[in-house]
Amino acid sequence: MKTEKEKMLGGELYNAMDPVLYAERIRAKELLYDYNHTRPSEKEIRERILRELLGGTGNDFLIEQPFNCDYGYNIRVGENFYANVGCTILDVAPVTIGDNVMLAPNVNIYTAGHPLDAEIRNSGLEYAYPVNIGNNVWIGGNVTIVPGVTIGANTVIGAGSVVTKDIPANVVAVGNPCQVVREIPK
């Protein structure tokens, strides 16, 4: 029989109030509390906390405070990653972010979702699908990325967009729902 964590990571319906998952979220919240309350000048402490929290990082990365996530261990960021203030990543499923990616303020990346059927939803079950962001991507302020989305390399997502489907490489995409408006010449 699968554990709730195995179901969660496998994209199946799972119970988020499972004691193991609950304890893992509390661990992440404790680390986030410490991180979000460090002084900006305490670079080494901040980096140590993020390396303990996140599932993988490049050598050079910066996440401005405040930062929020669910588990942390499902987040992998590449080299030269930057997230501005107010970043929230609900990493119930893996979130993989490539090299040279910049997130403007208040970017939200969600992997968690809830069933449309009210009876199932009210039972406490939910699901999660991974989010993948390629290399050299710039995501504008107040963008929301929903579960299961992939954003291709060298792409720019305009401020305020809601990304509900995959966006290819080498494009500018904007809007709600986010749509490609032009290609970026190579």
pLDDT digits (tens, 9 = 90+) for 145-168: 999 999 999 999 999 999 999 999
Q: What is the pLDDT of residue 13?
A: 97
List the catalytic residues. 114
Nearest Cα to 71, choosing from 118, 27, 123? 27
pTM for the full predicted model = 0.96
- Domain spans of the chain? 4-183
Q: What is the pLDDT of residue 35?
A: 98
Q: What is the pLDDT of residue 186?
A: 79
Q: What is the pLDDT of residue 106?
A: 98
Indicate the CATH number for domain 4-183: 2.160.10.10
Q: What is the pLDDT of residue 47?
A: 96
C-beta separation of 51 from 71 below 8 A:
no
C-alpha–C-alpha distance, residues 105 and 141, integer Å: 5
Q: Omega before 66 cis (within 30°)?
A: yes
**Is residue 74 classed exposed, middle or buried when 0-12, 13-18 and 19+ CB atoms within 10 A define those classes?**
buried
Counting other chains too, the contacts that 131-134 makes at CB distance below 8 Å and 24 or more residues apart are 131/93, 131/94, 131/95, 131/96, 132/95, 132/96, 133/95, 133/96, 133/97, 133/98, 133/101, 134/98, 134/169
Give the residue ranges of the chain where pLDDT is below 70: none
